[in-house]
Chain A
């Protein structure tokens, strides 16, 4: 009986990944893409996105849900890259400098975000989502008006012709895939960005280690129950802010890795969708709003990005219109997030009801005894 229940629960839990396996299994043959091309693309995207998606894990641990505010870190990373680009520091040193530069910006934004989220407990997700829009406004103010007029920008190649503001795209040719190609390796025609994977692996280790530290344990306690954690002497507010700051800093570094792979910055749009795609990928990997592991990240990237690559082609073959596939993958990304959010809320309510019923039966039992 209980075994049957367990099986049902596991299937229910992994229903999203299973659905994606199904979608991929149907779409791959239809799309007609060669396996080696597909493998190449998935490996590239793994290197590109893994770091960014890993940055989502810590706020989930602290019970703050999906951090839609990771966009803040992405913006910090972009600002750092633009500056480094203007100073013409190239290659790996440029990347490292950009990462170092992004940290103080990320920390500031993270503290801001954390403080506001502490004022909006219970609706962290919608608030962090609006924060990302709000900061996007500030980002535009800085990049479009202050850079070149207040913040010195020397090179006309990245400045708008009017004399201030940054162009729509900033070329990162000097940094393009420098990290990916640092240790060149090809297996069976598949290019593997070894150095990027090493960085990602290091971050995974750090996350595993972090979970065992005092701070990590505190975060989990806060995530379980804020009041109990407070009674246990944990500074709840501070812990929550730290978790957001860490996430923002990691997102900033992740964005720099992402952009070095892309080879250029779309100044006003690179960051806008990044949060949504990262969150969708994590959820596809079987994570939920209150539980996510490193395994979810990698499974999610493989499944989500396979779908992402094959959907337009498959859509074009089936309907004769490539736009259908494009819209389809956007729809799937949103739908996955929607379903995950709904599942999380219904589960939360069910658990609450169950706890209430349990209490009721216990009380009834007591009443009967006396």
Chain B
């Protein structure tokens, strides 16, 4: 009886949807060898995708901590990253240097955009998530025009015929393709681990973890869990929120650059549009809620989410010759967000 109660409690704290998703992934991992998919390949796929997406998911943490809710405005940070990437290539940097330069150039953009975005979010406390979504959308569609109009000339990036206007996808061959993934890469048979990319994620994640334990970081948590109390304790609530938004935006900018180095292409125009939702649902699957998130949530969530994204197509295809992975992904990820939004949370208003 006590065991059952304890089990029930564990399930409740873990959350039913999360349990279903974890169970589903375990089932897929068991089914994979049976239906003839190569398990090491699958696992290195998951690790690889984790290394691409980890930082984008990490970008959720500061804003959740300061009570700004889930960062649906992720595309804004992504755009800063894209500006960094394209300008770095335009200026003629190649190889690993182009990656470093992309980060350096993206940073001021992220600071400015994040600053404006944070200022805006301070004006509309309580309605952050909806407005964040639309700030993201507006900025993406504004940049669609900019990609055509800005004076880019690098022949590797612009349309061949017109000689201007950036292409929708730009190959990173010769630039920073897999600079992190190939660094100290470990290969054992079919299993390959992109050590560099994971180390990069680990450094940033540790940085955020350490930051959250500094004075400012603790203040951020205080603002997130109880703004009135934080104000009474003499914390400048607006300033802390602003810092968290800038951090989130900057992390998103770095996140997209890391994603690109793994993926191999810069995707422009409408591509950043729907990038927020996978990141949001990943951190929620990892156990975060609308106003609570830890680094552990990021790691677990990204592995679970990317695991399902990579495993379902192969397993499903081998099993029933029917690729339902896209539909499953949509239902699972949005279902997770819905679940989180309907939880009662204190201090959200």
Contact = CB atoms under 8 A, between A and B. Distances in A.
Interface stretch (A20-28, A202-210, A323-331): A323-331
B327 A126 contact: no
Contact of B138 (A144, A319, A338, A345): A338
A324 B148 contact: yes
Contacts of B337: 130, 134
Contact of B134 (A134, A145, A330, A338): A338
A141 B341 contact: no
B124 interface: yes
A138 interface: yes
B120 interface: yes
B160 interface: no
B124 A127 contact: no
A334 B141 contact: yes
Interface in B114-162: 120, 123-127, 129-131, 133-135, 137-138, 141-142, 144-145, 148-149
B331 interface: yes
A119 B126 contact: no
Interface string A310-327: 000000000101011001
Contacts of A319: 149
A349 B120 CA distance: 13
Nearest to A117: B342
Nearest to A65: B130
A25 to B, nearest CB: 21
B34 interface: no
Contact of A342 (B124, B133, B348): B124
A339 B164 CA distance: 32
A344 B126 CA distance: 11
B30 interface: no
Contacts of B126: 122, 345, 348-349
Contacts of B327: 137, 140-141, 144-145
B334 A133 contact: yes
Given A138-B331, A334-B137, A345 B131 contact: yes
A127 B335 CA distance: 11
B189 to A, nearest CB: 36
A116 B337 CA distance: 12
Contacts of B334: 130, 133-134, 137
Interface residues of A, number: 39
A109 interface: no
- The SS class assigned to the A binding surface is helix
B38 interface: no
A125 B69 CA distance: 14
Contact of B335 (A134, A323, A346): A134
B349 interface: yes
Contacts of A201: none
Contact of B331 (A126, A137, A321, A324): A137
B131 A331 contact: no
Contact of A324 (B131, B145, B349): B145
B231 to A, nearest CB: 14
B322 interface: yes
B97 interface: no
Contact of B130 (A131, A138, A341): A341
A341 B131 contact: yes
Contact of B324 (A145, A331, A349): A145
A339 to B, nearest CB: 9
Interface in B294-349: 322, 324, 326-327, 330-331, 334-335, 337-338, 341-342, 348-349
B130 A129 contact: yes
A140 B331 CA distance: 10
Interface string A12-49: 00000000000000000000000000000000000000
Nearest to A138: B331
Nearest to A165: B322
B96 interface: no
B326 A140 contact: yes
A120 B148 CA distance: 40
Contacts of B338: 116, 127, 130-131, 134
Given A133-B277, A140-B330, A338 B322 contact: no
A327 to B, nearest CB: 4
Considering residues A129, A131, A138, which has the most beta carbons from chain B within 10 angstroms of its beta carbon?
Answer: A129
A145 B321 CA distance: 12
Nearest to A115: B342
A337 interface: yes
Given A141-B331, A337-B134, A341-B134, 9 more contacts: A126-B130, A140-B326, A321-B148, A324-B145, A327-B141, A345-B124, A345-B126, A346-B124, A349-B125
Interface of B: 72, 120, 123-127, 129-131, 133-135, 137-138, 141-142, 144-145, 148-149, 165, 277, 322, 324, 326-327, 330-331, 334-335, 337-338, 341-342, 348-349
30 contacts: A120-B342, A123-B130, A123-B341, A126-B130, A129-B130, A130-B337, A131-B338, A134-B334, A134-B337, A137-B327, A137-B330, A140-B326, A145-B322, A145-B324, A321-B165, A323-B148, A324-B148, A330-B141, A330-B144, A331-B138, A337-B134, A338-B134, A338-B137, A338-B138, A341-B130, A342-B123, A345-B126, A346-B123, A348-B127, A349-B126
